[in-house]
Amino acid sequence: MKANTVVKRIVDAAMIVLLLLLMAFQVTQQLAHEWLGIAMFVLTIAHQILNRKFYASIFKGKYSPIRVFQLIVNLLLILSFLGTALCGMMISRYAAPFMNGLLPSSVVRQGHLALSHWSFVLMGIHFGLHFGIIASKIKNKAVSITLSAILCCISVYGFCLFFRSDILKYMLLQNPFAFLDYDKAWWLVILENLAMLLAWAFAAYLFSLFLRSVVRKDKRRISLLYILLAAAIVIIPIFINAADHSQQNQPSASWKPVQKPAAASQLPAADTHTSTDHTDSNVTDNYVLIKGGTFMMGNPENENWRSNDELRHQVSVADFYISPYEITQAEYQSVTGNNPSSFQGDTLPAENISYIEALQFANLKSKAEGLTPVYTISGRT
């Protein structure tokens, strides 16, 4: 094997390892995550230099279906990697603080989440397009079949994890924040990321076999088998996750709806002069008394991903009553007519709701209960 080829394989392997670590933010944490991102950026540039012949050959030769697919994947992967790196630098605190704040952090953060997951998927597909090199070195048919069966099982599991983690919502800019499990063991996080990466790689490999064989008239049946198998390892997890989601939304036999008040705005704030007559555990008409106080709102200037409108300032709040129960999605939808929650379920708490939307809900609920709305929003009650 030529020295240049060895270097390419080492760089490819290093990029896969770095990608798995970068997608495990809860394992590496902020400081290591940023420097790993810089390392990935450097390796990406090195990878392009090592594969410069690829770019020189773009306008040469004929384009078969597989070559078109490879070109599209490679170009999209480069763009997503560069976009991920730039967005990451613009919310960087340690590795590239000089770029922090060039664009609003909320926009850049969501772009970083979307592009990083696109990079992950495209990297898996790119990796799968090189499976043919590995498969060609396996001469034993029994070993080849066994490895294919194992990869099929891993792929189904990987796609189950992919859809269960709502990664598509990150990719489609529907989730502005990353929802990570910080209690999960680090090795399990890495293995799950690897399973998802292999799932996309194996599906891409099967699709590439389909593209290669579809033009061969004597192998049409085989080509159809490839595409059916690739579709199966993607579609089966969708049905599995849909069934799990449906089961989770079904209340158990012992579940009973809790009679609870509408919103905290329905009761006036307690008079600070009489609040000493109550305790924090006092419950009046299903409301809990929360004693007022003074606190600092906003984030310090050196906090990572800080927005320009997060200036720290002192806020004083009087005593108030609040419902001890979270508003369910069913209740929110019955009042407002819509449900913007990311994790759908009638009995789940309503989330993905802005401050203004929460005030609008409280006003609408007050009207429904025959009470006077207390919030004024841009001239509207």
Q: How do residues 350-380 score in pLDDT, each as one tens digit? A: 998 888 899 999 899 888 888 888 888 875 5
- 338 or 216: which leads in pLDDT: 338
108 and 154 share one domain: yes
Task: Tell me the residue range of the domain where 117 lies.
Answer: 3-249
Nearest Cα to Cα of residue 30 among 150, 251, 182: 182
pLDDT at 248: 53
- Per cent of the chain over pLDDT 90 is 34
Is 179 in the same domain as 280? no
The residues with which 32 forms a beta bridge, in sequence order, are none
- pLDDT at residue 167, as a whole number: 92
* Rounded distance between C-alpha atoms, residue 359 and residue 336, angstroms: 11
Q: Which of 223, 249, 275 is the last residue of a domain?
A: 249
Burial readout 47-58 (b: 16 or more C-beta within 10 A, e: otherwise): beeeeeeeeeee
CA 282 to chain centre: 40
Specify whether the CB–CB gap between 197 and 127 falls below 8 A.
yes
pLDDT band at 245 (very low <50, low <70, confident <90, very high): low
252: pLDDT strictly greater than 60: no
pLDDT digits (tens, 9 = 90+) for 32-85: 999 999 999 999 999 999 888 888 888 888 888 888 999 999 999 999 999 999
Both 35 and 146 in a single domain? yes
Clarify whether residues 70 and 103 are in a common domain.
Answer: yes
Residues 89 and 203 reside in one and the same domain? yes
Q: Is residue 264 very low, low, confident or very high in pLDDT (cuts 50, 70, 90)? A: very low
Q: Is residue 99 part of a domain?
A: yes
Tokens of 121: 């998927």
Domain boundary, last residue among 216, 249, 282: 249
| Domain membership flag for residue 245 | yes
Banded pLDDT at 154 (limits 50, 70, 90) = very high
Are residues 276 and 232 part of one domain? no
pLDDT at 255 over 50: no
Tell me which of 220, 249, 278 is where a domain ends. 249
Query: What residues have CB less than 8 Å from 95, skipping those under 6 apart?
Result: 34, 35, 37, 38, 89
**Alpha-helical regions (H) of the chain:** 3-22, 25-50, 52-56, 65-90, 105-128, 131-136, 141-164, 167-171, 186-214, 220-249, 329-336, 355-368
For residue 282, give Cα distances in angstroms to 259, 265, 273, 286.
Answer: 18, 18, 16, 10
pLDDT surpasses 90 at 336: yes
Q: What is the mean pLDDT of the chain?
A: 81
pLDDT for res 349:
92
Indicate whether 233 pLDDT > 60.
Answer: yes
CA distance 103 to 182: 28
Residue 196 is predicted with a pLDDT of 95
The reply to whether 130 and 31 lie within a common domain is yes
DSSP bridge partners of 340: none
Number of domains in the chain: 2
The three-state secondary structure class of 248 is: helix
Q: What is the three-class DSSP state of 103?
A: coil
Domain assignment present for residue 377? The answer is no
Residue with tokens 């800019």: 173
Query: How sure is the predictor about 335, in pLDDT bands with cuts at 50, 70 and 90?
Result: very high
Within a domain: 205: yes
**120: confidence class by pLDDT, cuts 50, 70, 90:** very high
The verdict on residue 256 lying in a domain is: no
Classify 297 as helix, strand or coil: strand
- C-alpha distances (whole Å) from 281 to each of 91, 132, 284, 380 are 41, 66, 10, 35
Q: Is the pLDDT of residue 181 over 60?
A: yes
Whether 251 shows a pLDDT value over 60: the answer reads: no
**Same-domain pairing of 17 and 105:** yes
Domain-located, residue 170: yes
Rounded mean pLDDT of 212-221?
A: 63
Are 321 and 264 in contact, with CB atoms under 8 Å apart?
A: yes
More confident: 116 or 372: 116
Residue 87 pairs with which residues in a beta bridge? none
**232 band by pLDDT with thresholds 50, 70 and 90:** confident
Q: Compute the distance between CA of residue 160 and CA of residue 239 in angstroms, rounded to an integer.
A: 9
The single residue listed with the structure tokens 């929460």 is 358
DSSP lists the bridge partners of residue 315 as: 295
Kindly state whether residues 98 and 215 are assigned to the same domain. Answer: yes
- What is the total residue count of the chain? 381
Residues 191 and 335 placed together within one structural domain of the fold? no
Query: Residue 314 is which amino acid?
Result: Q
Most confident of 34-43, 148-157, 292-301, 306-315: 34-43
Contacts of 26 (CB under 8 A, 6+ apart): 180, 181, 182, 184, 189
Identify whether 379 is part of a domain. Answer: no
pLDDT band of residue 222 (cuts 50, 70, 90) is low
* CA 325/CA 346 separation, integer angstroms: 15
User: Looking at the structure, do residues 214 and 276 belong to the same domain, yes or no?
Assistant: no
77, 122 contact by CB (below 8 A): yes
SS (H, E, C) 258-269: CCCCCCHHHCCC
Rounded Cα distance, 334 and 332, in Å? 6
The yes-or-no verdict on residue 13 having pLDDT over 50 is yes
Residue 255 lies in a domain: no
What is the mean pLDDT of the segment spanning 268-290?
A: 51
| pLDDT value at residue 277 | 42
pTM score: 0.70
CA-to-CA separations, 241 to 158, 166, 248, in angstroms, rounded? 12, 10, 10
Same structural domain, 13 and 152: yes
